[in-house]
């Protein structure tokens, strides 16, 4: 089954919106748990996804000016309260696993979208987004490895991994 570039763009816009909301929720929980470094990291990741969202919206407005924005329903992410440091780190490990999988799925989505794209500009946009998602996936894996190695992630870790 073939789908149009507009349908791919609508799906991508929706997925980036969900990613923004997911990162915001993770940041909020970690901030409340007192882990300001990890909270800031996820806030920054949310802002990167917002950049993707904005790029997709700009492309959609240019290529499909009469189309309605199809962002869809937002998902309310269920997060648990975290009160102690061990719980925070366990929660962070779980969060990183979820985010790592989401980034991998997003990269595959954009790689598949390249083949569906009907014009060069769309292919270039999808390729850039796929590369960004692959980089995000790699960063999450490195953070999880650092968490497993040290038992926690501290603000200097973000700088060491090139994310500060």
Kindly tell me if the per-residue pLDDT of 127 is higher than 90.
Answer: yes
pTM more than 0.75: no
Distance between CA atoms of 122 and 109, rounded to whole angstroms? 14
Higher-scoring residue by pLDDT: 46, 97? 46
The number of distinct structural domains making up the chain is 1
For 62-87, write each residue's pLDDT tens digit.
988 887 655 443 332 223 333 334 44
CA–CA distance from 43 to each of 20, 30, 48 (Å)? 9, 10, 9
For 101-118, write each residue's pLDDT tens digit.
888 999 998 999 898 888
Task: Tell me if 126 is assigned to some domain.
Answer: yes
Distance between CA atoms of 49 and 42, rounded to whole angstroms? 10
Please report, rounded to a whole number, the percentage of residues in the chain having pLDDT higher than 70. Answer: 76
Please report, rounded to a whole number, the percentage of residues in the chain having pLDDT higher than 90. Answer: 16
Q: Could you tell me the residue range of the domain that residue 49 belongs to?
A: 5-72+81-150
Q: What is the CATH number of the domain that holds 14?
A: 1.20.1260.10
């Amino acid at each position: 089954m073939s789908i149009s570039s507009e349908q791919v763009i609508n799906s991508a816009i929706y997925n980036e919106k969900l990613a923004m909301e997911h990162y915001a929720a993770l940041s909020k929980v970690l901030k409340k748990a007192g882990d300001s470094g990890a909270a800031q990291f996820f806030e920054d990741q949310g802002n990167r996804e917002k950049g993707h969202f904005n790029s997709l919206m700009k492309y959609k407005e240019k290529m499909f000016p009469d189309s309605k924005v199809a962002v869809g329903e937002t998902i309310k992410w269920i997060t648990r309260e975290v009160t102690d440091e061990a719980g925070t780190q366990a929660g962070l490990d779980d969060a990183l696993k979820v985010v790592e999988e989401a980034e991998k799925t997003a990269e595959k989505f954009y790689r598949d979208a390249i083949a569906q794209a009907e014009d060069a500009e769309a292919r270039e946009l999808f390729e850039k987004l796929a590369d960004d998602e692959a980089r995000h996936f790699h960063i999450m894996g490195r953070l999880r490895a650092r968490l497993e190695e040290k038992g926690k992630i501290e603000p200097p870790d973000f700088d060491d991994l090139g994310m500060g």
